[in-house]
Structure 1
Amino acid sequence: MDEENCPVNQTLKIISKKWHLHIIRDLFYGKKKFSEFKESNPKITNKVLADTLKDLESKGIIEKTNFEENFKSTEYSLTERGKRLNKVIYELGMFSIEDEAYPSQEKEESIQILKSNLKID
């Protein structure tokens, strides 16, 4: 299989872009608004955040909903496709939690938070 047709490579093209996983994680953790993503990721500029949201939307990972005619109230949510990334993000979190350097007293609580937010049984 060549690199262009590799399914892992295709997924990495989406999630490896800077800020993409941060925004996807934030959506799993209940954030929905531009200002909430900005608060959670203070180093991201408004332009980069807007571009990231547009890119994730164009890839079918998130969807945008406008609640007022003047578009002042906009929320983002994961699509069904985006929700399928829960196991990927869970495993990324577990990779860190299972590291010997991770504080042992926080491991179980961190695992439960991951499972709850990512809807992992």
Structure 2
Amino acid sequence: MSNDVIHEENACPINGITELLSRKWVFGIVKDMFSGKKHFNEFKEGKPEMSNASLSNTLKYLEIQEIIVKNVLENDSQTVTEYTLTDKGLKMNMLLYEIVLYGLYVLEDNLRSEDYKNEIRQAYEEILNIDDSKT
């Protein structure tokens, strides 16, 4: 079997995913959404260096990519905006999980105790809805 196809123009899916993930705040926002955050100000929590403009631009980019959907809810005199993951966004769970594992056990292997790494891994398994049979 030849692997020449991976070198053909537009045949490599790595370019598309690299474009998506190369944006600075994409991972943090998507991770936040997996952990239950839905509102603009919630995404800013724990990211003091992220400007409102950067957050707004990243949310809009994720909408255009159909990773998230913006819902504007109106009840009585209050308007609330919520962001939720689409099916396409939810399918990022395994990708994020593999990146977490690579970070914990390869890039930063000696920075944490094994118990702490396992605790972090288990927390990500929970929020990313990782099935134990896949790990």
Q: TM-score, normalised by structure 2?
A: 0.82
- Please list every run of 5 or more consecutive structure 1 residues that lacks an aligned counterpart in the other structure: none
- Note if contact 1:96-1:102 (Cα within 8 Å) is conserved in structure 2: no
**Corresponding residue number in structure 1 for 2:37:** 31
Structure-1 separation of matches of 2:8 and 2:84: 33
Give the share of equivalent positions with the same residue, in percent: 38
**Corresponding residue number in structure 2 for 1:15:** 21
**Corresponding residue number in structure 2 for 1:120:** 130
Shift of 1:30: 1.0
Structure-2 separation of matches of 1:101 and 1:40: 21
**Larger radius of gyration between Structure 1 and Structure 2:** 2
**Corresponding residue number in structure 1 for 2:101:** 94
- In the alignment, is residue 108 of structure 1 matched against residue 118 of structure 2? yes
- Please list every run of 5 or more consecutive structure 2 residues that lacks an aligned counterpart in the other structure: 1-6
Out of 50, 62, 85, which is 2:56 matched to? 50
Aligned residues: 121
- Note if contact 1:33-1:76 (Cα within 8 Å) is conserved in structure 2: yes
CA, structure 1 residues 87+65, in 2 after alignment: closer, same or farther (shift >3 Å)?
A: same
Shift of 1:43: 1.0
The two structures, once aligned, show a CA RMSD in angstroms of 1.7
Q: TM-score, normalised by structure 1?
A: 0.90
Shift of 1:29: 1.2
CA, structure 1 residues 4+44, in 2 after alignment: closer, same or farther (shift >3 Å)?
A: farther
- Note if contact 1:3-1:9 (Cα within 8 Å) is conserved in structure 2: no
Shift of 1:97: 2.0
**Corresponding residue number in structure 2 for 1:79:** 86
**Corresponding residue number in structure 2 for 1:68:** 74
Shift of 1:5: 3.6
- Note if contact 1:27-1:78 (Cα within 8 Å) is conserved in structure 2: yes
Structure-2 separation of matches of 1:55 and 1:32: 16
